[in-house]
Amino acid sequence: MRGKKFTGNYCNNCGQKAGAQKLTLAVVVEESLHFFTHFEKGFLYTFWGFISKPGVTSLNYLNGKRKQYQNL
């Protein structure tokens, strides 16, 4: 989450990793490969989010709110 300060390596509120990587092409490719090769419970949730609310899902991911979509 932007602008939040954490103590430790994880968010005190949701448990997501506190540090988000800078969004580069290499990170996008790596995350995409990981996402499509590791079908976790978040796959269907993310897929449905892109179908039903594509703008919200994309913005959440870009803003670092990735825990609800994938286990990182």
- pLDDT at 40 (0 to 100): 62
Q: Give a yes or no: residue 16 inside a domain.
A: no
**Domain span holding position 55:** 25-62
Quote the tokens at residue 71. Answer: 């286990």
In this structure, is residue 47 part of a structural domain? yes
Closest CA to 50 of 36, 37, 60: 60
Residue 72 lies in a domain: no
- Give residue-wise pLDDT tens across range 22-40: 889 998 888 888 877 776 6
Q: Phi and psi at residue 6, in whole multiples of 5°?
A: -115, 150
17 inside domain: no
Residue 67 counted as domain residue: no
Domain count, the chain: 1
**What is the reported pTM?**
0.36
CA atoms within 13 A on the CB side of 12: 5
